[in-house]
Structure 1
């Protein structure tokens, strides 16, 4: 089994990512660290607890983390989104939140005897803070998977994907660090495999609590997008167990932090850049394979 830590700003797609990480037989979910982004960290912590309690995974633990950017943005950004409900439509949690996310993450990685997979599906604030606290954590992470960035696909702006846009300083620090294996799952990949109403019905028909909850989340996303909707975050978890789902390229990545018009944009270059290192960048995904994986794990 692959030991996994999931760092997320739990909304609907993060919730499915947690379900996939908690239930996949080849993954050992060590814990969830909650970060600001979709909502204030008190809500993302509460939502993550609700998801884990739904499937009896509360023992993994949820640790509340940072609630503001790692360093100030060009323009301040309040935590949370007015266009999304702050609380997931799941029973209130029974489990209690754990210790501070950054302290727990550093301690967990320091103590790890096997390489840990770290999957980040929200702003990279917690990861950047852990890296600043102890740069040696890169040696304990076997693979870092980041859900973030965009190439041709528009995000929250024509140029920037939301997770990177929320905290470009953190993203720049994390993407520049010397991780053993760094995969960036971009919006180009997630938007290439949107789910529709028939896909949601297929999940709902499986009948398990996890599959029914996932179906409801997909349906809410279809309503929000007014059509087939990308299910971003679980694709980052899927990359750990089914890397063949993704079409990838190797590139150097730069995060725009000074130009207000392109703030938070990720730009990619094929040429080696020794200052930044090389990143594996996912640009497409196999929708049929992705949906089959969700069916198999959430329906088990």
Structure 2
């Protein structure tokens, strides 16, 4: 089958599109989905993930609940003002009830079991706070050898959204983010706000999704609060699908164009907490202004129309 994939997620409207992209793609072997706190509390993100998979006819995919809070400090707020109180613009009731029971295993154990059982390295797409991934790599360092790469939606090269400096997923648990991005040795592609904002979709794209059938109509119906938020951000009717951009790269390596930069994460308690420090100066280690951090792949560009078409084709069934 195609790409072996695990999604770690906090659904979330853009997470819903990302899960749909993987679940509906014929060339993806979706091994499991793990939930984490984030856009809304853990009980809600877990329920949303399970019910989304039911909508997509994917009751074969196990779901396990993970971290309900950050590793060190409590998180000041969630993102209900962006995603709605239930994480899905108040429309989670339109999703079918999940028929597959929630895994008794927690998220870390499910990921570990899936990695150990796989006959080839597995891609993990963390599209929420990185707490579960940090816990996996800390408790089971040998698991890293079975991870092909982490394709992470998070961070910003030049701006944030939760604060001036910090993007929501990284800001939600900077200590876990630093563990994963800086202190581990697993291959990483970081998909930042700078690119995901450029991949925003418009009313015509959403209308095509809604017209494609029951799944597309239900997905489009989950976007109302989220769409209103981004209409205010952009000053026009456009909506960002952050997490789906990362999952597109997880499915189709190279659909995003990356540059290798040294990245660090600010874990201080000041106004820059959660900022991804992306050093684009390309200094040598012997330079006195050399910055710490780890060199990772940062997604900086893509064929914007091609990316939007790739996602829409997968969601509407045109790729099947």
Contact 1:247 1:283 in 2 (8 A): yes
Contact 1:248 1:282 in 2 (8 A): yes
The alignment's TM-score, normalised by the length of structure 2, stands at 0.87
The one of 206, 209, 232 aligned to 2:242: 232
**Aligned equivalents of 1:231, 1:186: Cα separation in 2:** 12
- Structure 2 SS opposite 1:103: helix
The alignment's TM-score, normalised by the length of structure 1, stands at 0.92
Give the 5 Å matches for 1:239-278. 239-269=249-279, 270-271=282-283, 276-278=293-295
**Aligned equivalents of 2:87, 2:275: Cα separation in 1:** 29
The one of 279, 283, 293 aligned to 2:300: 283
**Aligned equivalents of 1:246, 1:87: Cα separation in 2:** 27
Contact 1:252 1:271 in 2 (8 A): no
**Aligned equivalents of 2:302, 2:256: Cα separation in 1:** 5
Contact 1:253 1:267 in 2 (8 A): yes
Query: 1:250-278 deviations in whole A, cap 9, x for unaligned?
Result: 11110001151100000112346797432
Cα distance, 1:132–1:216 mapped onto 2, change above 3 Å = same
Contact 2:80 2:87 in 1 (8 A): no
Equivalent in the alignment of 1:199: 205
Residue 150 of structure 2 corresponds to residue 144 of structure 1: yes
The one of 213, 221, 234 aligned to 2:218: 213
Once the two structures are TM-superposed, the CA of residue 291 in structure 1 deviates from its matched residue by: 1.9
Select between 269-278 and 103-112 the one with higher mean Cα deviation. 269-278
Cα distance, 1:294–1:127 mapped onto 2, change above 3 Å = same
Aligned residue pair count: 296
Once the two structures are TM-superposed, the CA of residue 192 in structure 1 deviates from its matched residue by: 0.7
Contact 1:49 1:93 in 2 (8 A): yes
Give the 5 Å matches for 1:22-171. 22-72=23-73, 76-77=74-75, 80-83=78-81, 84-86=84-86, 88=88, 89=91, 90-98=95-103, 99-171=105-177
- Structure 2 SS opposite 1:58: coil
Q: Which runs of 5+ in 1 are unaligned?
A: none
Cα distance, 1:25–1:82 mapped onto 2, change above 3 Å = closer
**Aligned equivalents of 1:60, 1:164: Cα separation in 2:** 27
**Aligned equivalents of 1:205, 1:287: Cα separation in 2:** 22
**Aligned equivalents of 1:46, 1:162: Cα separation in 2:** 21
Once the two structures are TM-superposed, the CA of residue 5 in structure 1 deviates from its matched residue by: 0.3
Q: Which runs of 5+ in 2 are unaligned?
A: 232-236, 286-290
Contact 2:39 2:80 in 1 (8 A): no
**Aligned equivalents of 1:284, 1:153: Cα separation in 2:** 16
Query: 1:165-211 deviations in whole A, cap 9, x for unaligned?
Result: 0000000000124445210000001001111111101111222x332
**Aligned equivalents of 1:277, 1:190: Cα separation in 2:** 22
Contact 1:197 1:222 in 2 (8 A): no
**Aligned equivalents of 1:135, 1:276: Cα separation in 2:** 20
- Structure 2 SS opposite 1:113: coil
**Aligned equivalents of 1:22, 1:82: Cα separation in 2:** 25
Once the two structures are TM-superposed, the CA of residue 219 in structure 1 deviates from its matched residue by: 4.5
Once the two structures are TM-superposed, the CA of residue 41 in structure 1 deviates from its matched residue by: 0.8
